[in-house]
Amino acid sequence: MSDEVIKLGHGSGGLLTRRLIEERVLRFFDSPALAPLKDSAIVELDAGRFAFTTDSYVVDPVFFPGGDIGKLSVCGTVNDLAVVGAEPIFISCALIIEEGFPSKDLERVLRSMRDAAMEAGVEIVTGDTKVVPRGKADKIFVNTAGLGRVAKWAESLRGAAQPGDSVLVSGGVGEHAAAVLAGREGLNLQGSLESDCAPLTDVARAVLQNANRVSFMRDVTRGGLATVLNEAVAGESYGIVLSEADVPVREEVRSICELLGLDPLYMACEGRLATIVDAASARRVQEAVARTAAGAQCRIVGSVTEGYTGSLVAQTAFGTRRLLQMLSGEQLPRIC
């Protein structure tokens, strides 16, 4: 196919659409369930409990250091499955493309989706493609839905947090937001600033298999670590004190935050999870997560307290404490 850009006709449902799917999409997505291009994918499943989720991705820019909208759309959905203790099996892929989007960029996005799906061990089994007139969408939007089997070790996810429990984060915070921001603003920062975008299946498994009790596990996305931990304490009879000095933040992320007046604790991640586990197994969990590819910088960053009911509090390096609120409004527009 020689078309250099995606045209409205590619979304017409006719011949051009067929060609787009067959020549561009199927090249990347090798799946026996997808190949017949039926209205629905027919899949075989064993008995058990399943997790099902969906998410849409509208990141600007489409390509950023360390990833792109394709990788993001697979990892994000896989991670939503992983944090409830499910092993991802199938995923769908719906594309909304703005007329004029370069075909080679589309291929790049699809290639990323394929690579991320392979890394996460998930199969893309169904999809959809729409093209909208110029200006009606911003380059490309992706929606993915994912199905996962709830694993036996998900049983560790139970009960409420207890004072004394440990809070862990699986790696450096804010790298995704910083990379997107640097990409968008053309900030030329030295060093290797890359999005942390990654599937968290191994990390979540390491947490669940090594903890006696996991009372909270979420992937850290928009709003950053401070927002996700605020959700952990909201309306609860306990609080969390976060030791600011223990939260891993890469030098490049700190730099960009200082430059733009942002707080790394509120910066989005796409390959990090936050969890609360019983204190007795915290060290073991940390070590197990640190052995995974995406969790090498895992740290114990705080603890659950009887005081500060319903609040998240940061302890600074000087011993002072401040309240960490939910992110109010957007720190940045559209980064996921």
Partner 1 sequence: MKYVDEYRRPDLVEDLVRQIRRRASGLDRKVRFMEVCGGHTMAIGRFGIASLLPERIELLSGPGCPVCVTPTTYVDKAIELTSDPSVLLTTFGDLYRVPGSAGTPEEACERGADVRVVYSPRDALGIADSNRQRLVVFLAIGFETTAPTVAATVLEASRRGIANFRVMSGHKTMPEALRALVQAPGIALDGFILPGHVSTVIGPEPYSFLAREFGMACCISGFEPTDILQSILALLEQTLTGEPIVQNEYRRAVRPGGNAVAREEMMKVFEPAAAQWRGLGLIPRSGLDVRAEWGGFRVEPPDPAVPSQEHASCQCSEVLRGRARPTACPLFGKRCTPQSAVGPCMVSSEGACAAYYRYGSVRFEG
The smaller minimum CB distance to partner 1, of residues 247 and 282, is found at 247
Backbone angles phi, psi at 125, to 5 degrees: -110, -15
User: Shortest distance, CB of residue 123 to partner 1, whole angstroms?
Assistant: 41
User: Shortest distance, CB of residue 169 to partner 1, whole angstroms?
Assistant: 20
User: Shortest distance, CB of residue 176 to partner 1, whole angstroms?
Assistant: 20
The smaller minimum CB distance to partner 1, of residues 16 and 335, is found at 335
The smaller minimum CB distance to partner 1, of residues 287 and 330, is found at 330
**What count of other Cβ atoms lies within 10 Å of the Cβ of residue 116?**
26
Backbone angles phi, psi at 197, to 5 degrees: -45, 115
User: Shortest distance, CB of residue 318 to partner 1, whole angstroms?
Assistant: 5
The smaller minimum CB distance to partner 1, of residues 55 and 263, is found at 263
The smaller minimum CB distance to partner 1, of residues 23 and 251, is found at 251
**Cα distance between residue 87 and residue 150, in whole Å:** 6
The smaller minimum CB distance to partner 1, of residues 40 and 328, is found at 328
**Cα distance between residue 38 and residue 141, in whole Å:** 23
The smaller minimum CB distance to partner 1, of residues 50 and 308, is found at 308
> 240 with 253: CB under 8 angstroms?
no
The smaller minimum CB distance to partner 1, of residues 212 and 309, is found at 309
Please give the biggest Cα pair distance in the chain. Answer: 67
User: Shortest distance, CB of residue 166 to partner 1, whole angstroms?
Assistant: 20
User: Shortest distance, CB of residue 190 to partner 1, whole angstroms?
Assistant: 12
User: Shortest distance, CB of residue 323 to partner 1, whole angstroms?
Assistant: 3
Task: Report the relative pairing of strands 299-305 and 239-243 from DSSP bridges.
Answer: antiparallel
**Cα distance between residue 160 and residue 296, in whole Å:** 27
User: Shortest distance, CB of residue 333 to partner 1, whole angstroms?
Assistant: 8
Can you give the binding site for partner 1, defined by CB under 8 A? 185, 251, 254-255, 258, 261, 263, 307-308, 313, 316-323, 325, 328-329
